[in-house]
């Protein structure tokens, strides 16, 4: 190392490494350093970086190649850097420049430097190739000195001033090259990421520009052809701003529109947002139909569409009367709980529950929509799916409102008792909010995620078996029971409703076909045995098809009476069988209610030698089996009163309920089982014209049952003339049609012994017959 004195030229934001040739703009201090060097005759200066917190420790000894001016007129000097040097203490010298002692620092070149230099050259060439600096690449290839290769990094624009200072202050060439290899690799990785992002941005912009041009061309072509924009492609923001929707809904719509406008056309989220926007905008947020205020006209519409069903007709007329009075007094509900209602029409098939919903809508002047719930097992069918799912849709309730096109339609929820539940949830639980007038003004569908006011919707649910509806859901609905029609009702319905409809379907005029009332009574009594009229309509359709065939082959008209029914619809399917079934002791006629309506139920009992035991068959539920055990216990306990030999109970007793393929359950066959067992034990047959229903206790009390009206209708259809019912069911007789009470004598009883005494044949008559 050698020491010498040189003026110092400090340069800001620049680090000059050995071998570099750089132009330096000369300020006052730099000019003093150049002048001092030239006046000393040495023509050399020490170039060092200017630091904020003091003086640099290292610099380079540079020769002054030339002094002149830049194109702008600024004084400048061109310097050629030589060896790196360590700056010592300040000394005196000529001129106004700062002079220091300078100690040159030779490069330390270990053996590994050459290999590192080649690696660094390869990386530098890769950087230059990206910039297409081919001339510089040739110069790099010509370099062989590891120290010179390392110091050439002073020209690298991707190295910071701090890193270049590290290179200046490091005499070991291998260390300099090691650092440069690491830094250049980092730079190349950053360049790769930047280039990839830039390429994607360019491709996206090109694709967007191409799509824009194509859309503009498509719009121009449509304009030339005189075609408008396809439906749904209009500006969503404009649609939202002009839509008549609540403020909260508008805010949600605008948020989605903002998201849509920020999204790329290729994003899958775009289609989801558009579908959601279309769904929400299609809902009739501000559309309501005006209810008819003419109560008399509404009742006439209901009467014209359905025979009977007075209770439900009265309920609808009451609803309409209340709404009309509130409207006249200006008490309409705005923005909160409306005056909708939730009705449940329960009854056997074929009594007109579903068609009644449409008739109610016509009477009220509302729009009608039907939602079939039979077999629905997914809770999302009611509340909708989350928007994140593929193919997500709103629930059936929202779709029904959209289909109706108004916020106050009549929505018929058909077969609500057939709703199931599995791992996807319980739809009946989801209906709890829908059918609660106290909270359905803020119904929230999973797909919409918006409050939807259902409080003004008139919900009418239908069901066959009320017991299959969860109690919490049943509590939210107003139950109206449709128990079925009497024989006279069926004849009137056939004459006024079914026959005209079937005449139209087979294109037969009323003058060409007649059927007598006696024939209709015969169809209702012996050809069908149902609570509704579906089977009767099928038989009428069958008769009319045969009549149409006769008219087509030359007949002028067809008149049908009782004698003609066998040829037209076949033999009678039902005949009274109670007398035949109860002709032997041990058989009693009970009454039951099924999903198809009321029906008669024969209880058979027999005894045979064997160990004392009770056998029960007929596919009975646990409750009905318990009734059989209770009945036997009562008969055994009261054997003396009933006149039964105690030896009877030492036999094997068998109780059977025919129709073993049909499941049966319930407690209302209790008194029938007591009567059948007593009949068997005493040898006295049960009177053939007698039927009975009621739950029995171990003490012989007769407890009330349900479905009394349906059971009495079934008794009338079966030809029974006397029926024993629980005393506590006597108030229910008010709901039974008068013609049924005229045909059937009803005996309210509170003690099963009264039933046994009155239902069995007198003992003396049995002895005389024997």
What is the set of active-site residues? 668, 711
Triad 7, 11, 17: Cα angle to 5°:
85
CA–CA gap between residue 478 and residue 81 (Å, rounded): 101
Which residues contact residue 518 at a Cβ distance below 8 angstroms, ignoring those fewer than 6 apart? 561, 562
Measured N-to-C along each axis, helices 752-759 and 670-682 cross at an angle, to the nearest 10 degrees, of 50
Q: Is 330 annotated as a binding residue?
A: no
Tell whether 350 is in a known binding site: yes
Q: Among candidates 521, 527, 462, which has minimal Cα distance to 489?
A: 521
Is 41 annotated to bind a ligand? Reply is no
Backbone angle region of 49, left / alpha / beta, with phi > 0 → left and psi within -120 to 50 → alpha: beta
d(CA 638, CA 681): 12
Question: Minimal CA–CA distance to 626: which of 581, 673, 593?
Answer: 673
Structure token digits, residue 496: 């006024």
Residues 6+ apart with CB under 8 A from 417: 463, 464, 465, 466, 468, 469
- Annotated ligand binding at 349? The verdict is yes
In this structure, what token pair is assigned to residue 412? 């018929």
Bridge partners of residue 23, in order along the sequence: 78
Strands (E), 634-770: 652-656, 690-692, 695-696, 702-703, 722-726, 745-749
- Residue 532 labeled ligand binder: no
Question: Distance (Å, rounded) from C-alpha 592 to C-alpha 695?
Answer: 12
CA angle, corner 216, sides to 214 and 218, nearest 5?
65
DSSP assignment of 396-458 equals HHHHHHHHHTSSS-EEEEETGGG---BTTB-HHHHHHHHT-TTTGGGEE-TTT-SEE--TT-E
Other Cβ atoms within 10 Å of 665 Cβ, number = 14
Hey, what are 417's tokens?
């008792």
Q: What is the DSSP letter of 388?
A: T
Residue 388 in tokens: 């994140």
What token pair was written down for 345?
């029409």
Tell me how far apart the alpha carbons of residues 49 and 409 are, in angstroms, rounded to a whole number: 85
* Residue 102 to residue 105: CA distance in whole angstroms: 10
**How many residues can be counted in the chain?**
770
- What is the rounded CA–CA span in Å between residue 353 and residue 533? 12
- CA pair distance 700, 684, nearest whole angstrom: 20
SS3 per-residue string spanning 570-613: CCCCCCCCHHHHCCCCCEEEEEEEECCEEEEEEEEEEEECCCCE
Binding residues for ATP: 347-354
Binding residues: 347-354
């Amino acid at each position: 190392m050698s020491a010498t004195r040189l003026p110092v030229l400090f340069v800001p934001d620049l680090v000059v490494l050995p071998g570099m040739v750089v132009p330096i703009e000369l300020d006052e201090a730099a000019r003093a350093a150049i002048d001092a060097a030239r006046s000393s005759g040495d023509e050399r200066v020490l170039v060092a970086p200017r630091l904020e917190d003091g003086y640099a420790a290292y610099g380079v000894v540079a020769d002054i190649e030339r002094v002149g001016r830049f194109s702008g007129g600024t004084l400048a000097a061109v310097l050629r850097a030589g060896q790196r040097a360590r700056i010592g203490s300040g000394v005196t010298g000529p001129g106004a420049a700062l002079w220091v002692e300078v100690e040159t620092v030779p490069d330390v070149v270990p053996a590994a430097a050459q290999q590192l230099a080649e690696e660094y050259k390869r990386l530098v060439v890769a950087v230059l190739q990206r910039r297409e600096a081919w001339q510089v690449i040739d110069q790099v290839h010509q370099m062989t000195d590891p120290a010179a290769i390392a110091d050439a990094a002073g020209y690298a624009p991707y190295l910071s001033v701090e890193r270049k200072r590290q290179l200046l202050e490091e005499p070991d060439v291998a260390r300099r090259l090691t650092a440069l290899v690491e830094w250049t690799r980092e730079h190349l990785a950053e360049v790769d990421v930047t280039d990839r992002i830039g390429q994607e941005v360019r491709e996206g912009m090109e694709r967007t520009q191409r799509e824009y041009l194509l859309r503009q061309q498509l719009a121009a072509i449509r304009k030339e052809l005189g075609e408008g924009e396809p439906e749904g492609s209009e500006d969503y923001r404009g649609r939202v701003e002009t839509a008549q929707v609540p403020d909260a809904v508008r805010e949600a719509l605008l948020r989605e529109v903002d998201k849509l406008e920020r999204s790329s056309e290729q994003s899958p989220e775009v289609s989801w947002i558009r579908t959601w926007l279309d769904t929400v905008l299609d809902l009739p947020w501000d559309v309501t139909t005006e209810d008819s205020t003419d109560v008399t006209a509404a009742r006439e519409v209901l009467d014209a569409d359905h025979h009977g069903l007075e209770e439900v007709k009265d309920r609808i007329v009451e609803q309409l009367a209340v709404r009309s009075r509130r409207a006249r007094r200006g008490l309409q509900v705005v923005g909160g709980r409306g005056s909708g209602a939730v009705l449940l029409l329960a009854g056997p098939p074929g009594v007109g529950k579903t068609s009644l919903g449409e008739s109610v809508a016509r009477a009220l002047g509302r729009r009608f929509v039907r939602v079939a719930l039979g077999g629905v097992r997914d809770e999302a069918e009611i509340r909708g799916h989350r928007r994140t799912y593929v193919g997500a849709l709103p629930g059936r309730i929202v779709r029904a409102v959209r289909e109706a096109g108004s916020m106050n339609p009549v929505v018929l929820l058909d077969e609500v008792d057939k709703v199931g539940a599995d791992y996807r949830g319980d739809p009946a639980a989801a209906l709890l909010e829908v059918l609660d007038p106290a909270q359905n003004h803020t119904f929230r569908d999973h797909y919409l995620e918006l409050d939807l006011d259902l409080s003004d919707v008139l919900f009418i649910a239908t069901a066959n078996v009320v017991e299959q509806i969860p109690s919490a859901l049943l509590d939210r609905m107003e139950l109206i029971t449709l128990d079925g029609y009497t024989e006279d009702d069926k004849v009137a319905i056939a004459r006024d409703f079914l026959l005209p409809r079937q005449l139209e379907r087979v294109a037969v005029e009323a003058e060409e076909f007649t059927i007598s009332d006696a024939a209709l009574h015969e169809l209702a009594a012996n050809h069908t045995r149902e609570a509704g009229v579906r089977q009767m309509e099928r038989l009428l359709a069958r008769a009319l098809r045969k009549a149409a065939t006769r008219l087509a082959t030359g007949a002028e008209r067809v008149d049908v009476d009782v004698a003609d029914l066998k040829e037209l619809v076949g033999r009678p399917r039902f005949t009274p069988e109670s007398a035949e079934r109860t002709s032997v002791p041990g058989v009693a006629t009970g009454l039951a209610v099924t999903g198809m309506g009321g029906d008669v139920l024969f209880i058979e009992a027999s005894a045979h030698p064997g160990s004392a035991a009770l056998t029960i068959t007929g596919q009975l539920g646990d409750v009905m089996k318990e009734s059989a055990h209770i009945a036997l216990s009562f008969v055994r306990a009261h054997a003396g009163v009933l006149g039964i030999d105690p030896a009877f109970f030492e036999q094997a007793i068998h109780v059977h309920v025919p129709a073993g393929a049909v499941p049966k359950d319930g407690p209302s066959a209790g008194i029938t089982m007591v009567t059948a067992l007593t009949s068997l034990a005493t040898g006295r047959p049960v009177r053939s014209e007698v039927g009975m229903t009621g739950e029995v206790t171990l003490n012989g009390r007769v407890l009330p049952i349900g479905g009394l009206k349906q059971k009495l209708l079934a008794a009338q259809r079966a030809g029974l003339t006397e029926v024993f019912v629980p005393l506590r069911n006597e108030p229910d007789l008010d709901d039974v049609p008068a013609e049924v009470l005229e045909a059937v004598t009803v005996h309210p009883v509170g003690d099963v012994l009264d039933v046994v005494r009155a239902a069995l044949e007198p003992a003396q008559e049995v002895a005389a017959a024997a």
